[in-house]
Structure 1
Amino acid sequence: MSARITAIRMPRYGMTMTEGAVSGWLAEPGDAVAVGQDLLEVETTKITNVETAAAAGTLRRRVVERGGVVPVGALVGVIADPEVPEAEIDAFVAAHAAAPVAENGEAAGGPVESLVDLGAATIAIRRTPAASGADAAPVVLVHGFGGDGDNWLLVEPALADDRPVITLDLPGHGRSGTVCGDGSIATLAQVLLNLLVALGIPKVHLAGHSLGGAIALAAAATAPERVLSLSLVAPAGLGPGIDDGYIAGFLAADRRKELKDVLGRLFADPDAVERRMIDGVLRMKRQDGVPEALSAIAAANFPGGRQAIDLRPALAALALPVAVIWGDQDGIVDPANADGLPEAVAVSRLAGVGHMPQLERPAEVVRLVKAAIAAGGG
């Protein structure tokens, strides 16, 4: 894909969403559009949302007009620089039309799941190739405590427009093995670096959420030559403020109602937690070895419900683009932990968003992560 062409795709507004309808366009072909500008209205079985522009340029093509229903991930429009020839736009649209979309809303031949044996640890990954076919440095996404790679589902397709995306399950989470050593940030960061070595990837862009943010930051501090940019979403490790009851509540909850109440605290709107998330966490927690692994990770990093990690010095020492993204309604990790960070760190606070910005405001998270990636190059 030309760097001057940006795909507008059918977004995913919930983890169970598989298709959406274009209920209206808010821009005409030929209109100049700015990043964050309202672009089109998308209707699902539950909601109608306004999708914003992820790039600046000219709206060159509306591929799906009002009333069209297409799968998640399908091309609905094209933004490009005015000087891009029509023939190049035509080829871009034709290439996307030739790529079938599966029933789950992902492009056929798209995401591939596998297990990577690292010796002491077995890590589950999902690899999404770049929609453009580009061989750029990949984005590696690291989830938080008690989550899994699906916490990134709403941002993966857009991040994969122009580079591969690799999403992993941490030890003791998702489909990965339960061996996690002492469960410390240093140990988990080394697992991440070992994974990059096993996959033969010399340089990456890292993005981490919550505990995964601390792991990504620690990995970047340990091997800065491997990391081109760092995006930290509501990260642990930057200050003491944390909900001291959340970790204990998560570990103790073993029924759907209890877990729904706990997971609801992750969102500015507690009703945003979906049954699929609740059931997935319950299944994970009931696997042999998972409760012990989660307890070990919690004890190592959040003893007594407090953060035992201080990565501010590591952050200050980094000489690479860093974005910190926080919801101003985060009830788990205090957004005030972002105060006083180095001036070079790009701090963004999202209004009305809780601890899960990548699920609550995915388009904004994509835009901010892509800005960090652009600054890092590769």
Structure 2
Amino acid sequence: MLNERIKPIVMPKWGLSMSEGKVTGWLKRPGSTVSLGDELLEVETDKITNVVEAGEAGILRRVLGEPGTVYPVKALIAVLADADVPDDEIDAFIGAYAVPAGDAEDGEAEAGPQYHTAETAAGTLRYAKRGDGGPAVLLVHGFGGDLDNWLFTIDALAETATVYALDLPGHGQSTKQVADPSLSGLSKTVLGFLDSVGVERAHFVGHSMGGAVSMRTALDAPGRVASLSLIASAGLGEEIDHGYIQGFVGATSRRDLKPVLETLFADRGLVSRKLVDDLLKYKRLDGVDEALRALSASLFAEGKQAGILAGPIANAKPPTLVVWGEEDRVIPAAHAQTLAGTAQVAVLPGAGHMVQMEAAGKVNALLKEHIGKAG
């Protein structure tokens, strides 16, 4: 039995397909006092580079993860313990952690299908489902994104909820046909998805365009939406970086696309070669260009957002959380204040438009608290 006074830090699992990660550097030195939420190290995956935050407090007694080395998910990379825990107890803990109890069962559970498909009136939609029990939560991505935009969100929320993340039409591995590219059309698609998977009512978490879709759904079918969590949401004001929209739609090479994607993050270094290459492959699929152009023309014509829903949502007063990255260069963070009178608002420093990735720990804590209160 492992020593409960010693707390392991393991290679995290971000997203459904992550099996390993590379330690790129430690942000805390051995012997440092660590508080809950402190940034400990940076990890690079085949999707993105991000920081690992401390899930518990203590002293960083031992660092095992070597920079530049790849470790499997759940591998022990460091140890936290109080100062009065002897070194020999830590040595024994590390030795016993070579094969953590329960990993075999976890591996078998994760060997099942990672993704599913739902047949809807809008076509075949890919989705992921995590968690079992608790309220239903639906994650709705933004323009040009897919369910992997929730890499750092889905498993965290699945600790207390049943979480669905889908690829909207024209995105990811869902149908590339977008019959109705309006917010109302996308809202009908989302409701059809919930019908297909047998969910009557869900807490909606929407990012960017997905936030506007979520608000439209809350107005069109209020009985289906238990709460709204709007992350860097469209639909709260006219302003948007139309250069980003045009650049994303028109990009056909790494040289074109990389600076466009860097607009999404406060830390431009998070845009990896793999991220750029994956999006280029997506953009070259049949039907994607037409879908993105149709959505752009419908939702962001003439460099402005078409559907402004702040007023109707303020009047309807669904339980609402608004989260923004202070350094958002796509949609101004000032838009967060449009619902300040009726919603909880959090603007997080050091993060951009992809705030759910750049400040994952803080965003996840806010989401869990909001969903828990909304019931």
Band the TM-score falls in, shorter-chain normalisation = 0.7 to 0.9
CA distance in 2, matches of 1:160, 1:169: 18
Indicate how the Cα distance of structure 1 residues 172 and 25 shifts in structure 2: closer, same or farther if over 3 A, else same.
farther
SS of the residue aligned with 1:99?
helix
Which residue of structure 1 aligns with residue 95 of structure 2?
none
Q: Which amino acid aligns with 1:126?
A: A
CA distance in 2, matches of 1:245, 1:45: 29
CA shift digits 1:174-198 (9 cap, x unpaired): 1010221230111001100110011
Aligned residue runs from structure 1 range 1-378, under 5 A: 10-11=11-12, 18-19=20-21, 37-38=37-38, 41-42=40-41, 44=43, 49=51, 51-53=53-55, 66-67=63-64, 71-72=72-73, 96-101=102-107, 108-109=110-111, 112-128=114-130, 130=131, 134-377=132-375
CA distance in 1, matches of 2:229, 2:216: 12
Q: Which amino acid aligns with 2:21?
A: E
Indicate how the Cα distance of structure 1 residues 316 and 72 shifts in structure 2: closer, same or farther if over 3 A, else same.
farther
**Percent identity over paired residues:** 39
Indicate how the Cα distance of structure 1 residues 101 and 66 shifts in structure 2: closer, same or farther if over 3 A, else same.
farther
CA distance in 2, matches of 1:287, 1:217: 29
Deviates more, 1:355-364 or 1:157-166: 157-166
Indicate how the Cα distance of structure 1 residues 179 and 263 shifts in structure 2: closer, same or farther if over 3 A, else same.
same
Q: Which amino acid aligns with 2:319?
A: P
CA distance in 2, matches of 1:156, 1:139: 9
CA distance in 1, matches of 2:333, 2:184: 23
Q: Which has the larger radius of gyration?
A: 2
Q: Normalising by the residue count of structure 2, what TM-score does the alignment of the two structures yield?
A: 0.79
CA distance in 1, matches of 2:133, 2:13: 25
Kept in 2: contact 1:186–1:215 (CA 8 A): yes
CA distance in 2, matches of 1:251, 1:43: 31
- TM-superposed deviation, 1:24: 5.4
Root-mean-square deviation (Å): 3.3
- TM-superposed deviation, 1:165: 1.8
CA distance in 2, matches of 1:359, 1:265: 14
CA shift digits 1:66-104 (9 cap, x unpaired): 4269644679999xxxxxxxxxxxxxxx875453348xx
CA shift digits 1:41-62 (9 cap, x unpaired): 3454698946144xxxx869x9
Q: Which amino acid aligns with 2:110?
A: A
- TM-superposed deviation, 1:321: 2.1
SS of the residue aligned with 1:314?
helix
Kept in 2: contact 1:25–1:41 (CA 8 A): no
Which residue of structure 2 aligns with residue 88 of structure 1?
none
Kept in 2: contact 1:154–1:358 (CA 8 A): yes
CA distance in 1, matches of 2:363, 2:188: 26
SS of the residue aligned with 2:189?
helix
Matched residues, number: 336
Structure 1 unaligned residues grouped into runs of 5+? 1-6, 79-93
CA distance in 2, matches of 1:333, 1:304: 15
Indicate how the Cα distance of structure 1 residues 138 and 304 shifts in structure 2: closer, same or farther if over 3 A, else same.
same
SS of the residue aligned with 2:242?
coil
Structure 2 unaligned residues grouped into runs of 5+? 1-7, 81-99
SS of the residue aligned with 1:112?
coil
CA shift digits 1:271-325 (9 cap, x unpaired): 2212222112111111111111111111000002211111112321334321111
Q: Normalising by the residue count of structure 1, what TM-score does the alignment of the two structures yield?
A: 0.78
